[in-house]
Each structure stands twice: as C-alpha cells, then as structure tokens.
Amino acid sequence: MNPLYLIVPFAPLVGAILAGFFGKQIGRTGAHTVTIAGVAISLIASIMVFMDVMEGNTFNGTLYEWAAVGTLVFEVGFLIDTLTATMMLVVTSVSLMVHIYTIGYMEEDDGYQRFFSYISLFTFSMLMLVMSNNFLQLFFGWEAVGLVSYLLIGFWYKKQSAIYANLKAFLVNRVGDFGFILGIGLVMAATGSMNYAEVFAQADSLVGQTMPGTDWPLLAVACICLFIGAMGKSAQFPLHVWLPDSMEGPTPISALIHAATMVTAGIFMVSRMSPLFELSNIALNFVLVIGSITALFMGFLGIIQNDIKRVVAYSTLSQLGYMTVALGVSAYPVAIFHLMTHAFFKALLFLGAGSVIIGMHHNQDIRHMGGLWKYMPITWITSLLGSLALIGTPFFSGFYSKDSIIEAVHFSNLPAADFAYFAVVAGVFITAFYSFRMYFLVFHGKERFHDIQHHDDHGDDDHHAHHGPVQPHESRWVVTLPLILLAIPSVIIGYIAVEPMLHGTFFEGVITINPEHGAMAGLSSIFHGAAAMGVHSLQTAPFWLALAGVVAAAVCYLWVPAIPAAFMKALKPVHTLLDNKYYMDKFNEVVFAGGARGLGEALWKFGDRMLIDGLLVNGSAKLVGLISGVVRFAQSGFIYHYAFAMILGVLAMIITFITLK
C-alpha cells in the first residue's frame, strides 16, 4: 500500500488534535499554522495520489479488521480509484482555501483555535468518507461530517438562532440517516457483506428478489433507502430545510461544508453505488423526480432572499438538484463533473459573500449595499467570475457541467425525464436571474449604505463590534488570495476536464452504466470538443435563457427598480408563499415537531403516569394491600380455624372432581 494513502486523511487529523487540545499552549498563530500545514500536506499527497491513479495504479484493501461475526467482517479499508482521487482533490483544495481565508475572517473571534480544529477535523471526516471501501467506514465518515457540521453551525453557541439552526440540521439529517442505515442493513442482509466489491459482485443476484412478506423489489427498496440518506446530507426536497438555516455558522463553513464538500457526500455515494442503482429503474425515477423538484422550486426561493448568504444557499440547493437529476438519468460522470466545478465556483461565491460582509462591517442585507465595485475591486471581479460560472456562461466551468446535465436528461428514456428536462431548462433562467439580482444589488447601482448606522447588534455573522456609518473596504490578502485562487478553476477547469471525464475513459471500471440507460452514450454522440461545445451553445435555449435572466435582473434592479415592487404587489400570494418557503418549516413544526411533542405528552400522561405509575406500580401495591387485608383475617393463629379451612378445601376439591366427571 502506498503510504500517501494514510497521509491524506490523517495529516488534517493531526492538525485538528493539536489545535483542539493544545490551542491555548500553541496560540492563534500556532493553531492556524498546524492546521493549514496538515491540509496543505494532504493536498500535496492527494495530487501525488491522483497522478499515480492516472498511471493506472489503484488500490482496494483492508487497513484494519475491527470485528468478525461469522462470515461478516467489519473493517477499515481504502478504495483508491479515479472517483476517489477526484473527490480527494476537491476536498483538500477547497479546504486549504477555506483555512487560509479563515485567518482573516475569524481574526477577532474568541473561538479562533476551536474553529480551526473543527474545520480540520471536518476535512479528515470527509476524506475518510470518500476513501472508504466498505459501508461501515462510509457510515463512520457520514456521521462524522454530520457531527462536525453540527458543531460548526452552532459555533456561536450563545446565539439562539445558531442553536436552533444546528438542532434543526441535526434532526433533519437523522431522518435521512435512518433511511441510510436501513439501506445498508438491507444490502448487508441480502449479500452477507459490507465490502463494496463483494456487494457489487452479487448485485445481479439481487434482481428479482423481494422484501420478505411483500412483493416489493428488494433492490429498489434498498436503493431508495440509501438515497434517503443522500436526501438528508445533500439537502434534497423535502429534507432540504436545514441548509438555509445553517448560514447561522461563520461564512467559511458555508463555503467548506454547505457548498463544496459535505452536501456533495450524497452525490458521491450514489455515484459509488451505481452498480446497484443501475439495476432499479424505480429507484432511478425516484432520484430523478426528487432532484427535479429541488432544482426548480429551490431556485424560486433564491429570487426573494435579501440576505447575501441565503441567496447563495438557495443556489446551492438548486445546483444539488441538478447533480441529483444527473444521477437519476444514469449520467453519474456528469454529476461528479458538476460536483467538481460547483465546488470551486460556489466556494468562491460564499467566500466572496463573506468578503462583502467583512467590507460592509457585517451587514448582510443586499438592499443596503450597492456600488461596492469601487471599494472592493478584487471581491467584485472574482464574484462576477463565480456568478458567470454559476449561470452556465459558455466556456466557463459551470457551463460545461450544467449543459451536459441538460443534454443528458434530454437523451434519457425514463418516464420522469420529461418533467426533469423542463425543470433543469427553466432553472437556467431562474438561476441567472437571482444570481445577477444579488450581483447588481451588491456591486452596482446606487450606494445605499451611507445612512446605515452600525451598532453592536449585527446580522447573522456578527462577532465584531463597529459603530457609526458604514464605509466599505477591500478585505485583507488572506481573504482575497483564496478568492483569486478559486476563481482560476471556476473559469478553466470545465474546459480542461470535460472531455476526459465525460467522454474519455476516466471513470471506466469505476462507474457502471447499463446499455439501456443511454444518456451518456447520447451525450458523447454530439460532443465534438470543448471549444465546439462552447460555440454551439450560442444557438441553444439554455444560453438565451441565461442571457434573458441576466437582462431581466439588470432591468429590474438597475434600470427600472419599480418593476419588482409592482410584481410583488400584483403577485402578493405567490410572494407570501415563497417568503414562507412553501410553508415547509411550518408544516414540519406543526405536524412532525408538534406531533412528536403531542405523542411525548400522551405517552407521559397516559403511558407513564396512568398506566405504569398508576395501574402497574401503584395499582399492584393497592392490590397486594387489599389481598393481604383479606388474608389477615384467616391468619388468626387458632388451629381449629386452620382445620376448618382445610376441610373446606377438601370439600371444594371433591365437588370439583364430581362436577368434572
């Protein structure tokens, strides 16, 4: 085994331990030095592993056997192939940028060392997830990233909104994880193994099997249960509700966890499970419908948001929907491709939003910004590049992955493909509109921040204290450098990677696609090179829809600002619906939270107080007391009383026997 495989996950873990347990001893500088060094070492090792894999060297082996129950083995092991190597590069590179950025963003925060420990621990957890070769280790990484996410969302633990947000994230993800562990259990029961290779080798034998006592296809149920886990972790409808609220955590977290890495764990998992999902059209249609709903309807919510981070958060939800749609049409390489491009430009947009928040002295309302391009030139340019990548501008990275998803859906023959195609095409206009609405309101137009007085009570990201009128300023180099470094792949990585990842042999032998699912084959049949794809797109509907979205945003928020107000007045019910997020939170609060509380109260009042305490405990005590009170009269101490009782007993026996005869 290559020792680099161990260095990749464990270097960030060492940094996390040093910053977490010895933070006071090593100080702020020591904390960020050890964690950044750990992630940098991990990135260098990941690059070396990637180059090794590209030469044809892969690995699938056990590191440690934890336990064995009969033929079932619980182990820790690594699977190193092109899919793993790609994820390792994405996780470590984005994580390194976030670590550097954090020096500037959290410089005045009391929890500086703790924060660096958490984000480094998260990097370790995510790497263990993507490098796993078995379901046990996958589940460990799955739960570990969830735990660290909980700690980071509620990082400012004295803030009520942060406490509510991390509890919400925790509970919603437990719902998904319940489905996930059921799926793992079904696969384990059916195959007798938790090792990927052994499970995939038996995949064909699972076709035709049904759930015991039902006619439900076993494979479809197992795949849907696994995907429910992905719905929680990758924030798919209806388990998406936690992600917008998670913006309560510091901005670097939004970039690391909720844009680039953790939320993509579900996409990675389904791609890894492609040999199973390919055998169930029921599961694929389910995935496709859920992804389509998320891609379309979460985009609508981005239009009315005024918090800069929440706009980007709803954009993340929509783009995760696009990735899920790609999974549903069996275009797994396209899903991973979009995961990679999205990681860079979405991390860029989140960190750009954080830079704006710093420059605006922690004001997050885009209605109170405007004209910032003059004050924050680096943030302005990099945010523009990120926005252009997000909307799928030709030759930018997001274009190659988004357009490939749209074309893949077009070639799909699944029943749900028509609805999915409408969703992803309509989503192009919506994405362009809300992205450039934010861009224009923040960086262009009238300067609306001069009259704002800033006090101690700030927005979601408050951990500083400023007074007096806001005077925007460009951020420090530790903030702007990651923006520049993330902007480069946001522009070029799509052009470079589209051909080998989608139309070459990059995922050969790693991802399974059955011949009857022809989306990838159809996609390859119309591909004639990255440059030709960009040129051809100028004649297609997605390009003109994206352009229309940008123009519409400019008209509404730069040239004729009265239009949005008129629309809001005319479409008041629609705005109310969107403002209340389709009443999903209200539904969850009333039905699930309220139902759980009601059930708990009923169990307490009737189950505990009346049944257990009242009937069983107190009732049995009273019954014993009653019986003893009666028996006491018979226990007189006189022999003739006992003799009389014996005679009565004998008579009763004789009468009973005579009667029975």
Place of tokens 């009333």: 590
What pLDDT does 468 receive? 52
Q: Are 359 and 442 in contact (CB under 8 A)?
A: no
pLDDT at residue 452, as a whole number: 61
- In the structure encoding, which two tokens stand for residue 514, read together? 């059955």
Are 178 and 227 a contacting pair, CB within 8 Å?
no
Residue 400 corresponds to which tokens in the numbers above?
């190659």
Which pLDDT value is given to residue 658? Answer: 86
pLDDT value for 466: 45
The set of residues, in sequence order, having a beta carbon less than 8 Å from that of 119 and lying 6+ positions away, is: 35, 95, 98, 99, 102, 152, 252, 253, 256
Name the DSSP class of 25. Answer: H
Residues 6+ apart with CB under 8 A from 405: 322, 323, 325, 326, 331, 334, 335, 338, 424
| Residues in contact with 134: Cβ distance below 8 Å, sequence separation at least 6, in sequence order | 75, 77, 194, 195, 196
For 535, the token pair is 């040129």
- The pLDDT assigned to 467 comes to 47
Could you list the mean pLDDT of each consecutive 10-residue stretch along the chain, which spans 661 residues?
87 92 87 92 94 90 83 87 92 91 85 90 92 91 90 87 88 90 92 89 86 86 92 87 84 77 88 91 92 91 87 89 92 92 90 87 82 87 93 90 92 90 93 92 81 48 50 82 91 91 87 87 88 89 92 90 84 84 83 84 84 84 83 74 84 86 65
Query: What does residue 203 show for φ and ψ, rounded to 5 degrees?
Result: -55, -45
Q: Say if residues 121 and 210 touch (Cβ distance below 8 Å).
A: no
What is the rounded CA–CA span in Å between residue 529 and residue 484? 27
Which DSSP state fits 210? B
pLDDT in tens, 460-497: 444 444 445 667 788 888 888 989 999 999 999 999 98
- What is the DSSP track for 229-241? HHHHHTT-TTTTT
**pLDDT recorded at residue 619:** 84
Question: What pLDDT is recorded for position 457?
Answer: 39
Residue 451: predicted pLDDT: 62
- Nearest Cα to Cα of residue 155 among 207, 117, 192: 117
Q: What is the pLDDT of residues 532-578, one digit of tens each?
A: 998 988 888 899 999 999 999 999 888 888 888 888 888 888 888 88
Can you give the pTM of this predicted structure? 0.86
